[in-house]
């Protein structure tokens, strides 16, 4: 047992000796010096900074004292004193040489003139003083003299008081318009939105004149829409072409009351006497659109164009020899399946035989069929069938008229 204890003691002594030697070797190396932060710049009243505590290099640790020494305090450096700017040294003027021209510094300084005292804020006008060349100018101004206030003629002259507040300028009076009722204002606003800027002169027109103006406005509206559609078609604007088509379709479907049929077409006094080439061209174009094979709704649009062609012949060329045929074709279109406007159809047929009593067209016969089949007016139908027999030179129409009279009257 004693040997084991001695062996342990020897081993512990050897370990302690080895540890001390290792510590002694590490203490031989010096640590690098610690860099201190630079001092902050001084201000108007510099405050000495607090000492910057840094870790000092570790001292050598003796074998017997394992505790390290406390770190040493670093004293702050004093702030640098501000350097005064160098004083400006006045340069001595050079002495003028003989023969040199005098400079501005050699001329005598003019005596200062006294400035006039500032005008008071209440002054409206200040008299001007005229200086004469002989009047002496004082070297030093004395106390400023009070300036007289010139009152304006329109305002009463009152002595100004220092304590009185300045009077406010009243704005000019604005003339107020007479008060209007809300209903009047609303009616004016509505008329401004609906009524056109340039109003047609409709004063003194009776029923016939006003109905004719309405019919002309409808025609102008259709023609303007058609021209607008052609403009967009020439530029390939499919979107706006669709807009125009939609508006034209709505206008075609809108109800158009027949106020006076006589106002929609010329009166019975026209006579076809002259051959006009432009009217013949319009007549051919109208027949082309009327007989063009198509199906609804394209067919109805073509018929509208044909009606416009025939109507233009009657309006623009009333002496053309095609006016009676144009009226007959209009009657066929109005009395057909697409329009079924029998009143306009009968009126168009009537204008055909009124303008040309010896016409070869079956105007009287077609009008009689409408009275018989559509309007159920047997007496008027028989009357027109008798006129067909009296005036027509077409034997086939005469034979059909006789048959219809026997069917209606029984003889």
Q: Give the model's pLDDT for residue 132.
A: 46
Distances (CA, A) of 270 to 12, 311, 319, 330, 388: 151, 14, 7, 16, 21
Q: Is the separation of the CB atoms in 34 and 54 below 8 Å? A: yes
pLDDT tops 70 at residue 331: yes
Report the pLDDT averaged over residues 152-174: 52
What is the arithmetic mean of pLDDT over 210-218?
81
What is the residue-averaged pLDDT of the chain? 74
What is the pLDDT, as a whole number, of residue 275?
A: 94
Tell me the average pLDDT across 260-268: 74
Q: Which of 86-90, 196-200, 292-296, 377-381 has the lowest mean pLDDT?
A: 86-90
Per-residue pLDDT at 29: 47
Residue pLDDT, tens place only, 188-203: 776 666 545 566 778 8
pLDDT digits (tens, 9 = 90+) for 376-404: 999 999 999 999 999 999 999 999 999 99
315 contacts 266 by C-beta, under 8 angstroms: yes
56 pLDDT more than 70: no
pLDDT score at 355: 96
In this predicted structure, which of 150-159, 251-260, 285-294, 328-337 has the lowest mean pLDDT? Answer: 150-159
pLDDT above 70 as % of the chain? 57
Alpha-carbon span 323 to 317, nearest angstrom: 8
Which of 46-50, 249-253, 254-258, 287-291 has the least mean pLDDT? 46-50
Q: What pLDDT score does 127 carry?
A: 45
Which of the 8 DSSP states describes residue 335?
Answer: T
What contacts 24+ positions apart, CB below 8 Å, involve 17-20? 20/63
Where are the chain's structural domains?
A: 208-253, 272-340, 362-411
Which of 286 and 297 is assigned the larger pLDDT? Answer: 286
Per-residue confidence band for 329, with pLDDT thresholds at 50, 70 and 90: very high
Is 86's pLDDT higher than 60? no
Q: Average pLDDT of 98-108?
A: 58
What's residue 124's pLDDT?
A: 45
Which are the contacts of 265, defined by CB distance < 8 A and separation ≥ 6? 311, 314, 327, 330, 347, 348, 351
Model pLDDT for residues 125-138, shown as the tens digit of each residue: 444 444 444 545 55
């Amino acid at each position: 047992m004693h040997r084991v204890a001695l062996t342990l003691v020897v081993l512990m002594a050897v370990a302690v000796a080895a540890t001390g030697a290792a510590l002694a070797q590490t203490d031989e190396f010096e640590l690098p010096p610690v860099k201190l932060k630079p001092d902050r710049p001084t201000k108007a009243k510099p405050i000495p900074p607090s000492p910057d505590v840094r870790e000092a290099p570790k001292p050598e640790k003796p074998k017997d004292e394992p505790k390290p020494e406390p770190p040493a305090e670093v004293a702050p450096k004093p702030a640098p004193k501000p350097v005064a700017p160098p004083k400006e040294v006045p340069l001595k003027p050079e002495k003028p040489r003989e023969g040199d021209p005098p400079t501005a510094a050699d001329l005598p300084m003019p005596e200062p003139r006294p400035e006039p005292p500032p005008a008071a804020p209440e002054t409206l006008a200040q008299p001007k003083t005229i200086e004469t060349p002989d009047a002496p100018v004082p070297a030093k101004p004395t106390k400023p003299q009070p300036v007289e206030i010139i009152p304006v003629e329109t305002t009463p002259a009152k002595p100004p008081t220092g304590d009185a507040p300045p009077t406010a300028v009243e704005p000019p009076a604005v003339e107020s318009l007479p008060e209007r009722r809300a209903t009047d204002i609303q009616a004016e606003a509505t008329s401004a939105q609906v009524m056109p800027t340039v109003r047609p002169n409709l004063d003194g027109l009776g029923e016939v004149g006003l109905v004719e103006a309405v019919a002309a406005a409808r025609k102008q509206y259709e023609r303007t829409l058609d021209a607008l559609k052609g403009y967009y078609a020439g530029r390939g604007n499919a979107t706006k072409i669709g807009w125009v088509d939609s508006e034209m379709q709505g206008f075609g479907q809108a109800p158009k009351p027949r106020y006076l049929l006589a106002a929609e077409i010329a009166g019975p006094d026209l006579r076809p006497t002259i051959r006009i080439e432009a009217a013949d061209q319009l007549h051919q174009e109208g027949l082309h659109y009327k007989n063009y094979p198509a199906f609804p709704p394209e067919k109805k649009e073509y018929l509208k164009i044909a009606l416009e062609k025939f109507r233009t012949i009657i309006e623009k060329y009333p002496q053309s020899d095609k006016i009676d045929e144009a009226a007959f074709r209009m009657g066929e279109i109005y009395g057909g399946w697409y329009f079924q406007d029998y009143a306009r159809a009968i009126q168009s047929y009537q204008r055909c035989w009124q303008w040309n009593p010896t016409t070869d067209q079956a105007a009287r016969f077609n009008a009689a069929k409408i009275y018989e089949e559509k309007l159920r007016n047997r007496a008027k139908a028989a009357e027109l069938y008798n006129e067909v027999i009296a005036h027509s030179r077409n034997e086939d129409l005469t034979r059909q008229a006789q048959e219809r009279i026997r069917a209606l009257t029984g003889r």
